Amino acid sequence: MRQYRHTPKRHLRWGRICGVAALLIVLVGAGFWIHAGRAQTSQHQVESSSPRVVSRVQSTSRTSVRPQTNPTIDHQLQATLSPIGFTGTALVMHKGRVAGLYTHGMANIATRQPVTATTMYEIDSIQKVMTAVMVMRQIRAGKLRMTTTLHRFFPKAPNSRGITIRQLLDMTSGLTYPKDFRPAPYHDDLGVVNHAVAEAKQTATGNGTWHYSGLNFVLLSGILIKLTGQTYAQLFATTFSTPLHLTHTRFAYETPTADMATGYHFVPATQRPGRPFVTGAALAHAELGTGQVYMDVADLYRVEAAIQTKLLTPAEKQTLFTPGSVSTYGGGLYHRTVDAANGYGYGFQSHMRISHNGQDAVIVMNNSAMGKPLLSATVQLTQMYLP
């Protein structure tokens, strides 16, 4: 859960594991159950030891088959993540079913709340593809085009006449925040966007060159709000939460719950979480559409799989996910042999890799961000388990 600080977001933070003896995972048709089985405890980390089955999605095609995870994959997750000081949840999906699950550590050290299969983590920039999907659906409705310029909605933005929706989606707008950017006190979502517009700067390379900045997706969120008359949270609910039956998804500015993890500084010398990150409420709102959602691993997979298979038509998916630069970034994802997204911030670090048919995935979610070691471990797991 967020605590309060007053400094801008930093993108790389620095996070350990023990094992789960038996975890039952079920994904049947559209039904997804997690059975948190017997776990081990140590002096410093605790894993859930109370067995339970959590219903994730109601399905008319539900069956009684409840396959066990593959012990070899469970062991490989532990062997890969434990040496680097991982605290969090890791999931491997194969052919639309859970193949491996690994949880370890503390979601909240102060309250001794252990990480479980339903712990929610801030997903940070992984949220961007969800904003991109909502934009694509406005294009479907005829309210927007890829060639529509920013000037139509925010004429005071730098070079607004020369920046298109396509460039915002691909981060080639040439816009970014100044280094000393500070969020304004929160009043409403459009206030967040208007403040971002007032502070926006052009990059040295200018329009047409890839430059990663969350500002692009804050602007896209503002466009969505102006087009629909709804808040971002309302649009998110009607696009994702309600139709996909998400049960462990919240916004960072909502009242914290026990199953929302706290983000921690990582201490490399001990490979343990250090002090918690402290963030301000204004900062949580300032990440509009770009990094303000908490999810557990099941909800995140459900959304990412739906994006690949049913929320967009094949033509829309092709349009949205065509890379806009040599970075391979387009519409919130990096597109290589698999689609990828990374989230860094406030002590959290998550990596998502998914096949183009949504059937196979590796998702790693961590609340004591260590940077490169976890990214390297995710690359290793992706090479093992994704085609």
Q: Are 103 and 89 in contact (CB under 8 A)?
A: yes
pLDDT greater than 70 at residue 382:
yes
pLDDT greater than 60 at residue 42:
no
pLDDT tier, 5 (very low <50, low <70, confident <90, very high otherwise): very low
- Model pLDDT, residue 53: 24
Q: Give the mean pLDDT of 249-261.
A: 95
Mean confidence (pLDDT) of the chain: 85
pLDDT greater than 60 at residue 20:
no
Nearest 5°: the CA angle 219, 223, 226 is 135
- Model pLDDT, residue 122: 98
- Model pLDDT, residue 207: 86
Output DSSP code: residue 41.
B
- Model pLDDT, residue 10: 37
pLDDT greater than 60 at residue 300:
yes
- Sketch the domain layout of the chain as residue ranges: 24-120+251-321+338-385, 129-233
- Model pLDDT, residue 206: 82
Q: Give the mean pLDDT of 282-288.
A: 95
**Ranges 187-201, 274-288, 302-316, 350-364: which has the least confidence:** 274-288
- Model pLDDT, residue 9: 43
- Tell me the per-residue pLDDT of 307-366, one tens digit each, with 9 for 90 and over: 999 999 999 999 999 999 999 999 999 999 999 999 999 999 999 999 999 999 999 999
CATH number of 129-233: 1.20.58
- Model pLDDT, residue 387: 74
E strands present in the chain: 24-28, 31-36, 52-55, 88-94, 97-104, 106-108, 113-114, 121-122, 175-176, 201-202, 249-251, 264-267, 272-276, 293-295, 329-330, 333-335, 339-345, 348-354, 361-366, 368-369
- Model pLDDT, residue 205: 86
- Model pLDDT, residue 227: 98
For β-strands 264-267 and 368-369, DSSP reports them as parallel
Q: Give the mean pLDDT of 195-206.
A: 94
pLDDT greater than 80 at residue 21:
no
Closest CA to 94 of 73, 79, 71: 73
42: alpha, beta or left? (left if phi > 0; alpha if psi -120 to 50):
beta
Percent of the chain with pLDDT over 70: 83
The whole-model pTM stands at 0.85
Q: How many other C-beta atoms can be found within 10 angstroms of the C-beta atom of residue 30?
A: 16
Q: Give the mean pLDDT of 227-239.
A: 98
100 token code pair: 């491996």
- Tell me the per-residue pLDDT of 204-231, one tens digit each, with 9 for 90 and over: 888 889 999 999 999 999 999 999 999 9
- Model pLDDT, residue 262: 97
- Tell me the per-residue pLDDT of 103-120, one tens digit each, with 9 for 90 and over: 999 999 999 999 999 999
- Between 1 and 262, where is the model more confident? 262
The full length of the chain comes to 387
Q: Give the mean pLDDT of 165-184.
A: 96
> What three-state secondary structure class fits 148?
coil
Q: Are 179 and 273 in contact (CB under 8 A)?
A: no
- Tell me the per-residue pLDDT of 88-106, one tens digit each, with 9 for 90 and over: 999 999 999 999 999 999 9
**Ranges 239-248, 274-283, 290-299, 378-387: which has the least confidence:** 274-283
- Model pLDDT, residue 4: 30
